[in-house]
Amino acid sequence: MRIGVIGAGNVGGTLGRSWVQKGHDVMFGVPNPTAPKMLELLKATGGKARAGGIAEAAAHGEVVAFATPWAATQDAVRQAGDLAGKVILDCTNPLKEDLSGLAVGHTTSGAERVAAWASGGRVVKVFNTTGFENMAQPSYGGTPITMFFAGDDAQAKRVAAQLAQEMGFDPVDAGPLANARLLEPLALLWIYLAVKQGHGTGIAYKLVHR
Ligand SMILES: NC(=O)c1ccc[n+]([C@@H]2O[C@H](COP(=O)([O-])OP(=O)(O)OC[C@H]3O[C@@H](n4cnc5c(N)ncnc54)[C@H](OP(=O)(O)O)[C@@H]3O)[C@@H](O)[C@H]2O)c1
């Protein structure tokens, strides 16, 4: 698949590297594509990924993943240009800058905001409920950890599930996009457990069935 990854930090960098390893054609979109950290990341993909501006990377992707800080996300979506018909993976969390809570929630979600900004894009909330370290290694003792995803477009959700499965996650359909209202607080809980409760980042959600 041709995938544009907007934001190449902890999350974008990890997802992009992993997708390159699975044979996908990845282009990162960042404010400064020739920054040393970007060039280092490209080197880490064995030169198989490229970097460009945000509009360029978005145009490259049939799938476009947003992995930007919440405060920059509206601007990143605007810069991405026409996203109509594309599969949009919203990997962001609408965190307050001091991580004390969510900037939106209960009656809407970051994902629904992204869907409103990315007019015509087929948005799936995914890759937001665990830390980037787990995205690099989604297996705990051979058990794949859960990756919830939510969206309104069945085909876009299949793409999200496929990418998650290829990475080694156990993808779990969490319903319509409005259920991002449930997944975004779950991310905040993960952060709270990892950071405030001292469990560290080596923790993950796993849905078990009797
Ligand atoms: N960290 C995690 O474990 C984790 C897990 C799940 C979800 N998330 C969510 O994922 C998102 C990214 O988190 P992160 O930890 O990867 O952040 P990060 O390491 O700070 O990376 C953010 C990336 O976005 C780029 N960026 C900044 N402003 C931009 C803009 N206007 N347009 C395009 N790109 C822009 C940054 O470029 P520069 O470096 O050049 O500024 C950087 O490449 C956040 O919404 C976060 O809540 C994080």
Q: Which amino acid is at 14?
A: T
pLDDT tens digits, 109-134: 999 999 999 999 999 999 999 999 99
pLDDT of residue 14: 98
CA gap 24, 48 in Å, rounded:
9
CB-neighbour burial class of residue 106 (10 A; exposed 0-12, middle 13-18, buried 19+): exposed
CA gap 18, 29 in Å, rounded:
16
CA of 68 to the centre of ligand 1 (A): 4
pLDDT of residue 20: 98
User: What's the start-to-end Cα distance of the chain, in Å?
Assistant: 35
The total of other beta-carbon atoms located within 10 Å of residue 103's CB is 14
DSSP tag of 102:
B
State which residues of the chain have pLDDT below 50.
Answer: none
CA of 209 to the centre of ligand 1 (A): 34
Strand partners, 66: 6, 90
pLDDT of residue 6: 99
Q: Give backbone dihedrals phi and psi of 55, rounded to 5 degrees, phi first.
A: -65, -40
CB 83 within 8 A of CB 121: yes
pLDDT of residue 168: 98
pLDDT of residue 122: 98
Q: Which residues line ligand 1 (CB under 6 A)?
A: 6-12, 30-32, 54, 67-70, 72, 75-76, 91-93, 95, 128, 131-132
